[in-house]
Amino acid sequence: MSEELRTVWWEPGAVCLIDQRRLPHAQETVRCSELAAVAWAINAMVVRGAPAIGCTAAYGMALAAELSAAGTPDELLAELEQAKATLDAQRPTAVNLAWATGRVLTQARVAAAHGVAAIRAAVLTEAHAILAEDLAMCHAIGEHGAALIPPRGHVLTHCNAGGLATAGYGTALAPIRTAFTRGRAVHVFVDETRPFLQGARLTAWELQQAGIPLTLITDNMAGYMMRRGAIDCVIVGADRIVANGDTANKIGTYSLAVLARAHGLPFYVAAPSSTIDLQLAHGDQIPIEERSAAEVTHLGGQLIAPAGVHAAHPAFDVTPNELITAIITERGVIYPPFSEGLRAAVGERR
Nearer CB in complex with ligand MRU: 116/172: 172
Q: Considering Cα of 26, then 27, then 32, then 33, what sign does the dihedral take?
A: negative
Q: How far is the CB of 294 from ligand MRU (least distance, A)?
A: 15
Q: How far is the CB of 166 from ligand MRU (least distance, A)?
A: 5
Nearer CB in complex with ligand MRU: 207/238: 238
Q: Which of 87, 66, 52 is nearest to 168 (CA)?
A: 52
The residue from 14, 15, 41, 49 that contacts ligand MRU (CB under 6 A) is: 49
Q: How far is the CB of 118 from ligand MRU (least distance, A)?
A: 33
Phi, psi of 252 (to 5 degrees): 110, -20
**Residues in a beta bridge with 238:** none
Subset of 59-118 contacting ligand MRU (CB under 6 A): 94
Contact 154, 189 (CB under 8 A): yes
Long-range contacts of 140-143 (CB under 8 A, 24+ apart): 140/330, 140/331, 141/171, 141/174, 141/175, 141/270, 141/271, 141/272, 141/328, 141/329, 141/330, 142/169, 142/174, 142/175, 142/177, 142/178, 143/178
Residue 134 appears among annotated catalytic residues:
no
Nearer CB in complex with ligand MRU: 93/325: 93
**Residues in a beta bridge with 154:** 187
- Out of 239, 246, 277, 317, pick the active-site residue: 239
Nearer CB in complex with ligand MRU: 171/273: 171
User: Binders of ligand MRU: how many residues, by CB under 6 A?
Assistant: 17
Q: E strands within 178-250?
A: 187-191, 214-217, 233-236, 240-242, 247-250
Q: How far is the CB of 69 from ligand MRU (least distance, A)?
A: 33
Ramachandran category for residue 322: left, alpha or beta (phi over 0 → left; psi -120 to 50 → alpha): alpha
The residue from 7, 90, 178, 198 that contacts ligand MRU (CB under 6 A) is: 198
Give the HSE-up count for residue 304: Cα atoms under 13 Å, Cβ half-sphere.
12
The residue from 39, 63, 186, 315 that contacts ligand MRU (CB under 6 A) is: 315
Nearer CB in complex with ligand MRU: 73/272: 272
What is the contact mask toward ligand MRU in residues 235 to 264, using x (rule: CB under 6 A)? --xxx---------xx--------------
Distance CA 177, CA 143 (A): 10
Q: How far is the CB of 277 from ligand MRU (least distance, A)?
A: 13
Q: Which residues contact 128 (CB under 8 A, 6 or more apart)?
A: 10
Q: Is 330 in the site for ligand MRU (CB under 6 A)?
A: no
Which residue has its beta carbon closest to ligand MRU? 237
The residue from 6, 51, 154, 163 that contacts ligand MRU (CB under 6 A) is: 51
Between helix 50-67 and helix 73-88 the angle, nearest 10°, is 150
Q: How far is the CB of 112 from ligand MRU (least distance, A)?
A: 32
Nearer CB in complex with ligand MRU: 116/267: 267
Give Cα 17 distance to the centre of its chain. 15
What does the DSSP 8-state code read for residue 113? G
Subset of 125-184 contacting ligand MRU (CB under 6 A): 159, 161, 165-166, 171
Q: Which residues contact 341 (CB under 8 A, 6 or more apart)?
A: 327, 334, 335
Options 42-50, 56-64, 108-116, 319-327: segment touching ligand MRU (CB under 6 A): 42-50
Nearer CB in complex with ligand MRU: 237/283: 237
Give the HSE-up count for residue 59: Cα atoms under 13 Å, Cβ half-sphere.
29
Q: Which residues are designated catalytic?
A: 239
User: Footprint of ligand MRU on this chain (CB under 6 A)?
Assistant: 48-51, 94, 159, 161, 165-166, 171, 198, 237-239, 249-250, 315
